[in-house]
Structure 1
């Protein structure tokens, strides 16, 4: 049937009741069933009788009139999630515009820019995760949607950081940013997976998950982060090569590294240096991701990659959805830095 052909995520927005909701103050499934007919109803010799069925109380009638399908409530929460995702895109464009309008920057200013963006995107990601949830009965309560939106925010964060690489003036700035990023990943992330940290979050009522569920979400975050890092860096390297040497060079002065409008007016930046140092940064990220996966496997006995692939096998729709999200987010940078001027015909 059509209902059986829908995925779990699609059924969230087509069913009227929370999954697993047995008792409800509103009109439940058992109340909507047709009452059983009595045998006397079909006996022509039986005396005429009117079944004395009590009328529903007025309070129940009023409640039925005010009844709102849970699928609609979930949909409204989902719309709020989409609004937050669009807000992240707008804020990313704002951050990038402010950074480009105030060039050049020293290392301290670059770090402040990057990590203020990191804090902003993590706050929006956390709010979205709270809305989507993962269990039945929570606002939306969809693990696959949480997976996809986690990828969206990871890619959004990485995309705008990659665009920053084209305006770093020295190898020292690349090294400093990568040192901070790798240190945070290798040291901080395993600490946040510990049972002590989880107990602290539970004590502060920030997280109500069991430790096993919390650790699973942490491993999922690592898997998605690695996916976002590799996808965004591969796209960035391809973009700067195509836009620097391609036919659209004039429309993208950001990657032209010359004196064109929006380009490198003062000659502070270099294409070859940006390309090679970005490749070195990518190699460092791959090594850091491998190290943290080994740490998680050694300290907690769980595989990060295995967790991610299990999710993809359990929810096959994650694969095409992730592909669409990657294309959507990675093209945002191209639209954000393009400079088009329409010339009047001579």
Structure 2
């Protein structure tokens, strides 16, 4: 099996023999292709201090390290074999074991970067939702989810994402549709562990066997719910499946935690100091097996009165008491002291847990709202903006946990990059879900003016030195101005990427679901005006959308498609304006910084693609109406 994780194990101390290499988590990574090129996380922030690792070294001569030369093999084995080997090697060097030179070549050209980071995730998500379901007509005497819905002033209450129109084959859903959904979720967890440089599976079992067992559990678990009529109603709720996926995604964390506990990674004194090490410590003359701080150690341990023999030599009594004291002291330290590597792992698990909980909470929140319609204006405003604030608070909390400087909890810039992308795309799916219920071009224009204005004004404002000084004064940010501005430039790129990939997925999904065979499985994209007397928003990755009032005039597929395309063009122009402002004002090259990040940490590319596919699948999964035959 190819090695999924290639890294050089470091020490648990804050320092390292190679301080110039970036700290990704428990291990210090050393670039394989450019050993002389380094990136440092200083105590004040992220820096690339003139180390020949700028744009020229990554995107210029450095590419030759990763060139694939199979001319000799092509002559011996033929052009087809050589081309196949080049393709297989490219897939390995780009997705399985990404290499700096190969990733740098891909992200150097704008069209390659756009195809890999935007088109590919959107294409995978749309292809997944376009898989044709085996469908059956609904029984005449059935109601939604087998429950009688309470009447409302509008008559029969219809959930915001529509009523189930057909029954679907449970086994196809479980093995194909839901199976692919869970595999993507497991790949996301695995790739995040990859960036952290830690294998989550038992070494004795290996990755293929472990992930296969978890995949089998994810399939077998829901079967009893379908087989017993008394519990079938549970399977008709999307939230039930989201919660089961959350449990499946938590299994790698549980396994990794159990492995570390089994190896006593939580104990600081697993091994005693060697005789050579003890020469340079006070343990040489005190008799301690490990070094203790002077304030915690008595100069001379008290003699035990219970075992004191007045006729015994003094040195024998002291030696006996010293042995008991040392043993008890070492045992106390083993219970009290947690090594830095284990503490960082706990922080890492906390950040990952918060990220997984975000879409579970959002899905549950949206499901409750959509099944309790109608709501008055105050309730709707509270629901929508409370979720928006929640997403940003969770994003800030995870960003604080991960940090960007060595010594800050996890202290991993690449992990912060990935989780920023995760929350940014989570928010953008909320915006896209809104577009399917806008009812006039004026509403699109109003929404876009607000969005672009905030980006163009707040983007440069948050980059300014006075704003950074304010954050520093409030103890919200402790980075230097240069490091802080680099993070802001990264966030601008991630926002633009999230906008593009979410809009591509939205446009592709309304096309294949409105005209494709799964139209009745996703009634939200049916655009039936008569079934929505008031505009009702759906969850996007478990997130709501603003309900826009109106009579329904102009609400159709054509308006949504063309107005969304115009909106996307406006977003691209707004992003271009912001980048020009940042370059003219602070000489910050947003695209150049992003290219350097992707080339410096090649794992960002496959991990980012998997994360985007996972979030986009959440958006589509949440609006599918599940009724099993």
| TM-score, L = length of structure 1 | 0.81
Moved more, 231-240 or 251-260: 251-260
Maintained 8 Å contact 1:254/1:264: no
Alpha-carbon separation, structure 2, partners of 1:274 and 1:100: 24
Maintained 8 Å contact 1:14/1:71: no
The DSSP-based 3-state class of the residue aligned with 2:415 is helix
Pairwise CA distance, 1:99: 5.9
From 78, 84, 90, the counterpart of 2:354: 84
* Residue in 2 that maps onto 1:23: none
Maintained 8 Å contact 2:25/2:410: no
Pairwise CA distance, 1:14: 5.6
Alpha-carbon separation, structure 2, partners of 1:200 and 1:28: 45
Maintained 8 Å contact 1:9/1:144: no
Alpha-carbon separation, structure 1, partners of 2:395 and 2:604: 18
What are the residue-to-residue correspondences of 1:139-150 with 2, within 5 Å? 139-150=409-420
Gaps of 5+ in 2: 11-22, 28-195, 200-267, 289-325, 535-550
From 261, 286, 311, the counterpart of 2:597: 311
Moved more, 278-287 or 250-259: 250-259
Is 1:326 paired with 2:612? yes
Alpha-carbon separation, structure 1, partners of 2:403 and 2:488: 14
The DSSP-based 3-state class of the residue aligned with 2:423 is helix
From 298, 313, 320, the counterpart of 2:584: 298
* Residue in 2 that maps onto 1:248: 518
Rg comparison, structure with higher value: 2
Aligned pair count reads 316
Pairwise CA distance, 1:150: 0.2
Gaps of 5+ in 1: 16-25, 39-51
Deviations, residues 137-186 of structure 1 (Å, cap 9, x unaligned): 21111110000000000010001211111111222221111111100000
* Residue in 2 that maps onto 1:18: none
Asked which structure has the greater RCO (Cα within 8 Å, sep 6+), the reply is 2
Deviations, residues 83-122 of structure 1 (Å, cap 9, x unaligned): 221232134325544368646998x998876654432211
The DSSP-based 3-state class of the residue aligned with 2:578 is helix
From 411, 436, 442, the counterpart of 1:172: 442
Deviations, residues 54-94 of structure 1 (Å, cap 9, x unaligned): 31155455213433233322222122112221232134325
Maintained 8 Å contact 1:244/1:255: yes
Maintained 8 Å contact 1:133/1:140: yes
Is 1:35 paired with 2:263? no
* Residue in 2 that maps onto 1:340: 626
Maintained 8 Å contact 2:422/2:615: yes
The DSSP-based 3-state class of the residue aligned with 1:169 is coil
Pairwise CA distance, 1:9: 4.4
Deviations, residues 258-302 of structure 1 (Å, cap 9, x unaligned): 279xx5467933111111111111011000000000000011111
* Residue in 2 that maps onto 1:239: 509
Maintained 8 Å contact 2:404/2:413: yes
| TM-score, L = length of structure 2 | 0.46
From 98, 110, 126, the counterpart of 2:396: 126
Alpha-carbon separation, structure 1, partners of 2:365 and 2:467: 32
Alpha-carbon separation, structure 1, partners of 2:527 and 2:337: 61
Maintained 8 Å contact 1:117/1:157: no
CA 1:294–1:160: 2 relative to 1, 3 Å:
same
CA 1:141–1:91: 2 relative to 1, 3 Å:
same
Maintained 8 Å contact 1:131/1:139: yes
* Residue in 2 that maps onto 1:227: 497
Alpha-carbon separation, structure 2, partners of 1:337 and 1:237: 15
The DSSP-based 3-state class of the residue aligned with 1:174 is helix
Is 1:289 paired with 2:575? yes
Alpha-carbon separation, structure 2, partners of 1:339 and 1:163: 16
CA 1:114–1:184: 2 relative to 1, 3 Å:
farther
The DSSP-based 3-state class of the residue aligned with 2:409 is coil
Question: CA RMSD, aligned part only?
Answer: 3.2
Maintained 8 Å contact 2:403/2:409: yes
Is 1:54 paired with 2:324? no
Maintained 8 Å contact 2:598/2:605: yes
Maintained 8 Å contact 1:166/1:255: yes
